[in-house]
Amino acid sequence: GAGVSQSPSNKVTEKGKDVELRCDPISGHTALYWYRQSLGQGLEFLIYFQGNSAPDKSGLPSDRFSAERTGGSVSTLTIQRTQQEDSAVYLCASSLASGRIEQYFGPGTRLTVT
Amino acid sequence: KNEVEQSPQNLTAQEGEFITINCSYSVGISALHWLQQHPGGGIVSLFMLSSGKKKHGRLIATINIQEKHSSLHITASHPRDSAVYICAVSGGGSNYKLTFGKGTLLTVNP
């Protein structure tokens, strides 16, 4: 079956521009996570959605970052006024529920801010 | 100090060797995950465990909850096992997000 998909796979943008990254989770998965993988920091949690509950935004590094999940399915991560330190691979993962459940990762979006 | 520590950071082995990667954590967890990432590739979940031992093919994962320690073993290693192996934990209670170790880069030479 289809796994988690993300688009675009690569994005190069100029400093100061806004970008939108998209995640399509596995059908039926109620939990969706965004993570970031950068050279200096490794993998880090950004935000989590579970069903209709309020998202856990505790990992977002600044108010330039926001995310939404429409209809409990597709999610969009938006970065406003991008900075060079935002350059990283942004990974989306989904799972059937939360907690002690395996997460399935998408291929990631590689963001380069020039 | 990171909540999840892995060792070694880098590991080079000859084909056929037995491989061990270690992970220690300092927080209460609901589960520990071992992930694999090939160069330029996506992340694949290998194991999720909260107690005891799991085996899948040549891969074995163990966890000792009391000692807050887990190991990933690869038997009869092969060059295709070359990848970054990442330990991650999901917190106790309803804490679901993963906290990651920095990964172990494994290179298996033919």
Does A72 contact chain B (CB < 8 Å)? Answer: no
Q: Does B88 sit within 8 Å of A43, measured CB to CB? A: yes
Q: Does A43 sit within 8 Å of B31, measured CB to CB? A: no
The residue among A9, A95, A103, A104 with the most chain B CBs within 10 A of its CB, best to mutate, is A103
Q: Does A43 sit within 8 Å of B100, measured CB to CB? A: yes
Distance CA A80, CA B20 (A): 43
Nearest CA to B84 among B6, B3, B32?
A: B6
The string of pLDDT tens digits covering residues A22-37 is 999 999 999 999 999 9
Distance CA A49, CA B24 (A): 28
Please determine, for residue B46, whether its predicted confidence score (pLDDT) is greater than 80. Answer: yes
The per-residue b/e assignment along A84-105, b for 16 or more CB within 10 angstroms, e otherwise, is eebbbbbbbbbbeebbebebbb
Distance CA B101, CA B84 (A): 11
Does B72 contact chain A (CB < 8 Å)? Answer: no
Tell me the pLDDT of chain A (114 aa) as tens digits: 589 999 999 999 999 999 999 999 999 999 999 999 998 778 999 999 988 888 999 999 999 999 999 887 999 999 999 999 999 999 999 998 766 678 999 999 999 999
| Identity at B88, one-letter amino acid code | A
B chain contacts of residue A50, beta-carbon cutoff 8 Å: 96
Distance CA B19, CA A75 (A): 38
Q: What's chain B look like in SS3?
A: CCCEEEECCEEEEECCCCEEEEEEECCCEEEEEEEEECCCCCEEEEEEECCEEEEECCEEEEEECCCCEEEEEECCCCHHHCEEEEEEEEECCCCCCEEECCCEEEEEEC
How are beta strands A109-113 and A10-13 bridged, if at all?
Answer: parallel
Q: Does A100 sit within 8 Å of B50, measured CB to CB? A: yes
Q: Does B44 sit within 8 Å of A105, measured CB to CB? A: yes
Distance CA B10, CA B20 (A): 12
Burial (CB < 10 A; 0-12, 13-18, 19+), residue B57, is exposed
Of B30, B35, B103, nearest to A100 by CB-CB distance is: B30
Please report the pLDDT score of residue A23 as a whole number: 97
What average pLDDT does the segment B67-86 reach?
A: 97
Angle at the Cα of A102 from the Cα atoms of A22 and B48, rounded to 5 degrees: 140
